[in-house]
A = this chain, B = another copy of it.
Amino acid sequence: MMHDEVVSRLRHVLMEGEIPPGARIPERELCASFAISRTPLREALKVLAAEGLVVLLPNRGSRAAKLTQKDVKELFEVCEALEAAAGELACPRISDEQLREIAELQANMVEHYRAQDLLSYYRCNRLIHEAIVRAADNAVLAGFYESVAARIRRARFITPMSPEHWGLAIQEHEGILNALQRRDARGLAHILHTHLRRKREEVVRAGFAEGE
């Protein structure tokens, strides 16, 4: 029971950037702050290393994983595939209740767009994508998606988003909701693909801009 606790606390520390990417992970300090011994912490480190959040250097400790440009590209490519698949699977499986929930999130998101509230917009956007993945009713897919999304998020790409792109994203989301309501699996997969590809290109551009 404690093991999962340690893993999620450590994941949280890494996700919140308390230990920045590339930085050494101070075993002893974390043990003290979590009030545990090194054994469970080291187990958690190995698990997070398998997840890709931590890199283990033999005899030289562990560091918070650093995302290279290529890593980000790879994560986006996989994210794209997973979300498209989720959408396709969700279409025949989604319940009216879930559909209603997404429609509501969508409405909220548009509100935040109107108010130009980027942070709330992002939160809604994320909830919608997560809801679609949930509707796919596939635990393996959901697990992979969570892992990929977490790693992408950790890169903290809160790209300012150009007005045109933001508008386009909103339009695409209308299309997503529409396809879901029409249970158009193929159409939804296609929209999600282009939607995410656009986001990826935007992020990659921003990434290049800031160097690495």
Binding site for B on A (CB under 8 A): 1, 3, 39, 42-44, 46-47, 49-52, 56, 58, 71, 74-75, 77-78, 80-82, 84-85, 89, 138-141, 143-144, 148
Q: How far is the CA of A56 from the CA of B43 in the complex (A)?
A: 13
Give every chain B residue within 8 A of A44 (Cβ-Cβ): 46
State in angstroms the CA–CA spacing of A70 and B51 once bound together: 23
Q: Do A3 and B81 contact each other (CB < 8 Å), given the known contacts A74-B138, A140-B52?
A: no
| Separation of A58 and B40 alpha carbons in the complex (Å) | 14
This chain: copies in complex: 2
Partner of A43, one of B1, B43, B77, B144: B43
Select which of B39, B77, B89 is within 8 A of A39 by beta carbon: B39
Interface SS majority for chain A: helix
- Let me know if B51 and A140 touch, CB within 8 A: no
Chain B residues with Cβ below 8 Å from A74 are 138-141
Q: Which residues of B contact A141 (CB under 8 A)?
A: 74, 77-78, 81
- Chain B nearest CB, measured from A80 CB (Å): 7
User: CA separation between A56 and B52, bound complex, in Å?
Assistant: 21
A140 near B58: Cβ-Cβ < 8 Å: no
For residue A76, which residue of chain B has the nearest CB?
B140
**How far, in angstroms, from A138 to B74 measured CA to CA in the complex?**
6
Q: Please give, as numbers and ranges, the residues of chain B lying within 8 Å of A43 by CB-CB distance.
A: 42-43, 46
Per the bound structure, the CA–CA distance linking A89 and B77 in Å amounts to 9
Q: What residues of B have a CB within 8 angstroms of the CB of A42 in the complex?
A: 43
| Docked-complex contact B81 and A140, CB < 8 angstroms | no
A77-B77 Cα distance, complex, nearest whole Å: 17
A89 to B197, CA, bound (A): 13
Cβ of A69 to closest chain B Cβ, rounded Å: 13
Set B3, B49, B77, B80: member contacting A56, Cβ < 8 A:
B3
Given contacts A74-B140, A75-B140, contact A85 B81 (CB under 8 A): yes
> Given the complex of chains A and B, what is the CA–CA distance between A52 and B142 in angstroms?
13
Residues of chain B lying within 8 A (CB to CB) of residue A148: 140
